[in-house]
């Protein structure tokens, strides 16, 4: 028996490859199927089942392309209603893979069709739990995403999640290994650990959600502090449920190399958004006007989903040379399939063609320290509220990047402000959005709060509510 966790850091997502005696199962595969097909060929193994623990919201799964390539059956839990052929398993149904078995545990709460898969090894021992989005390490799945589909309140879903965990998961043996679908950084939970594998026994000890005195306390603790889900989540659920374009076709369209003239023509006639995926320091020095910067070397796909939101939005890409395929792959993982091509030769080709460029007014933290008048100048901190609360510039305003579409309308275009995040990644995203919408009355700080912390600029951990909400 072989169990392999295939973890994708930028999505904080774990897929699983399980094989035994010439047969295999894959749980919650990502969009691109090549890594799985290569493993199957290397192991001379036949893929028998593709298990989906639920209709994912934060990424588009590879179940359809993988099934088409291998003829493996797709398996969902009870109540699932996909628009394609799939096995709808019943609670406690057992699927044999080689000499092992995978037992379906129906665990509604995160979604109604959610399941966990209990692995029973060659000796009949319950060995591992593939817990999907029902149980994370340090947390449990958020119960507010499926309210509309289930016609239930988040409190009712949280109650179902309590029953699933306390009646089906907690009675299992402590030595069972837990393999969750997500880890720290995922928006599918709020308190996940950085570790990606743990024993169930340890989770019983340290996971706050598994140590509540009653259902009412569980519901309160699980719902407390939940941030609104990213707006693209619902669109990813629809794609996973109804189907999507083949990844190969998406790659072919996205890898269309466009000359400067072609790029310009497509941009003018298609309504496409120009997405520049270079690092923030290079973007600040020169970019195509109206471009949005989201650097591929970071939490790229989730930020694209959060800030662009509409997965059908046509995109034109500006990348570092050789990064085109990675960018297209990572965009497709969150459903952004409508890529019209990329700028051949990148920004250098644009500059050499004497086309108009734009820049961002960026200064170092030391220059900021010299210029800032703490009593009169306005500073906007776009980090998360928790980061702001830990420490921030005295009298700075907290306006998290996630909510830029809400607070941008309150910006006075005639009032200058300074803006920073933690290291420059997020603040350059904000800068590009602001300039694309006509705001140029700001100065962005290179290196963000990490660099600011080394200066003598006054800082505090005192949180003034008016500064957060203003």
User: Considering the domain boundaries, does residue 462 fall inside one?
Assistant: yes
Residue 357 located in a structural domain: no
If you search the block for the tokens 């149980």, which residue do you land on?
A: 135
Could you tell me if 346 and 369 lie in one domain? no
Same domain, 437 and 293: no
Q: Which of 234, 267, 298 is the last residue of a domain?
A: 234
256 with 326, same domain: the answer is: yes
Domain shared by 185 and 54, yes or no: yes
Question: Model pTM?
Answer: 0.92
Q: Is there a single domain that holds both residue 276 and residue 388?
A: no
Q: How many domains is the chain built from?
A: 3
Can you read off the two tokens belonging to residue 108?
Answer: 């509604």
* Residue 368 falls inside a structural domain: yes
Instruction: Answer yes or no: do 346 and 366 share one domain.
Output: no
pLDDT at 222 (0 to 100): 96
In-domain check, residue 240: no
122 inside domain: yes
- Strands of 378-381's sheet, edge to edge? 362-363, 442-445, 417-420, 378-381, 397-398
One domain for residues 46 and 149? yes
Note the pLDDT of residue 466: 53
The verdict on 195 and 338 lying in the same domain is no
- What does the angle CA 453 – CA 297 – CA 433 come to, to the nearest 5 degrees? 75
Q: Can you give the residue range of the structural domain that contains 443? A: 362-469
Condensed to tens digits (0 to 9), the pLDDT of residues 267-281 reads 999 999 999 999 999
Boundary residue ending a domain (187, 210, 234):
234
- CATH number of the domain residue 267 falls in: 3.40.250.10
Q: Is 329 a member of any domain?
A: yes
146 and 45 co-located in one domain: yes
Per-residue pLDDT reduced to its tens digit, 371-415: 999 999 999 999 999 899 999 999 999 999 999 999 999 999 999
Q: Are residues 341 and 320 in the same domain?
A: yes
Residue-level pLDDT at 464: 64
Q: How would you write the pLDDT of the chain (470 residues) with one tens digit per residue?
A: 999 999 998 899 999 999 999 999 999 999 999 999 999 999 999 999 999 999 999 999 999 999 999 999 999 999 999 999 999 999 999 999 999 999 999 999 999 999 999 999 999 999 999 999 999 999 999 999 888 888 999 999 999 999 999 999 999 999 999 999 999 988 888 889 999 999 999 999 999 999 999 999 999 999 998 888 888 999 999 999 999 999 999 999 999 999 999 999 999 999 999 999 999 999 999 999 999 999 999 889 989 999 998 999 999 999 999 999 999 999 999 999 999 999 999 999 999 999 999 999 999 999 999 999 999 999 999 999 989 999 999 999 999 999 999 999 999 999 999 999 999 999 999 999 999 999 999 999 999 999 999 999 999 987 665 576 55
Q: Are residues 340 and 416 in the same domain?
A: no
Q: Per the domain annotation, does 289 fall within a domain?
A: yes
What DSSP state is assigned to residue 49? E
Q: Is 213 exposed, middle or buried (0-12, 13-18, 19+ CB in 10 A)?
A: exposed
Mean pLDDT across the chain: 95
Which CATH number covers residue 64?
3.60.15.10
Sheet architecture: strand order including 257-258: 257-258, 339-343, 315-318, 273-276, 292-293
Domain for residue 373, yes or no?
yes
Query: Of the candidates 234, 261, 277, which is a domain's last residue?
Result: 234
**Which class for 54: exposed (0-12), middle (13-18), buried (19 or more C-beta within 10 A)?**
buried
- Residue 192 and residue 262 in one domain: no
């Amino acid at each position: 028996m072989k169990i392999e966790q295939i973890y994708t850091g930028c999505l904080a997502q774990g897929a699983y490859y399980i094989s035994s005696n010439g047969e295999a199962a894959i749980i919650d595969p990502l969009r691109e199927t090549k890594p799985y097909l290569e493993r199957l060929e290397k192991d001379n193994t036949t893929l028998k089942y593709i298990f989906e623990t639920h209709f994912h919201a934060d990424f588009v799964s590879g179940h359809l392309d993988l099934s088409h390539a291998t003829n493996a059956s797709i398996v969902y839990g009870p109540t699932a209603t996909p628009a394609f052929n799939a096995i709808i398993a019943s609670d406690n149904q057992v699927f044999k893979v080689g000499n092992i078995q995978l037992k379906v545990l129906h665990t509604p709460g995160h979604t109604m069709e959610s399941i966990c898969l209990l692995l029973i090894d060659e000796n009949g021992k319950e060995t591992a739990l593939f817990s999907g989005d029902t149980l994370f390490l340090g947390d449990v799945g958020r119960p507010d995403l499926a309210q509309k589909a289930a016609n239930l309140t988040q409190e009712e879903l949280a109650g179902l999640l309590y029953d699933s965990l306390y009646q089906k998961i907690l009675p299992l043996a402590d030595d069972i290994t837990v393999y969750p679908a997500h880890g720290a950084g995922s928006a599918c939970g709020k308190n996940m650990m950085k570790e990606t594998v743990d024993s169930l026994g340890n989770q019983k000890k340290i996971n706050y959600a598994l140590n509540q005195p009653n259902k009412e306390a569980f519901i309160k603790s699980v719902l407390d502090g939940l941030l609104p889900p990213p707006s693209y989540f619902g669109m990813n659920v629809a794609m996973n449920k109804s189907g999507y374009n083949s990844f190969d076709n998406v790659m072919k369209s996205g890898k269309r190399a466009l000359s400067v003239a072609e790029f310009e023509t497509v941009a003018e006639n298609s309504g496409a958004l120009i997405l520049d995926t270079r690092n923030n320091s290079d973007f600040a020095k020169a970019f195509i006007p109206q471009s949005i910067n989201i650097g591929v070397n970071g939490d790229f796909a989730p930020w694209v989903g959060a800030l662009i939101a509409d997965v059908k939005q046509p995109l034109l890409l500006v990348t570092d040379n050789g990064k085109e395929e990675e960018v297209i792959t990572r965009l497709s993982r969150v459903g952004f399939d409508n890529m019209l091509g990329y700028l051949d030769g990148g920004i250098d080709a644009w500059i050499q063609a004497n086309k108009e460029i734009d820049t961002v007014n960026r200064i170092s933290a030391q220059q900021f320290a010299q210029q800032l008048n703490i009593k009169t100048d306005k500073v906007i901190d776009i980090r998360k509220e928790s980061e702001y609360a830990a420490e921030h510039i005295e009298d700075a305003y907290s306006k998290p990047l996630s909510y830029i579409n809400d607070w941008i309308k309150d910006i006075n275009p005639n009032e200058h402000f300074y803006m920073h995040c933690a290291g420059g990644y997020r603040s350059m995203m904000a800068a590009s959005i602001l300039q694309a919408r006509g705001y140029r009355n700001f100065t962005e700080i290179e290196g963000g709060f990490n660099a600011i912390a080394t200066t003598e600029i006054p800082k505090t951990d005192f949180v003034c509510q008016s500064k957060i909400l203003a």
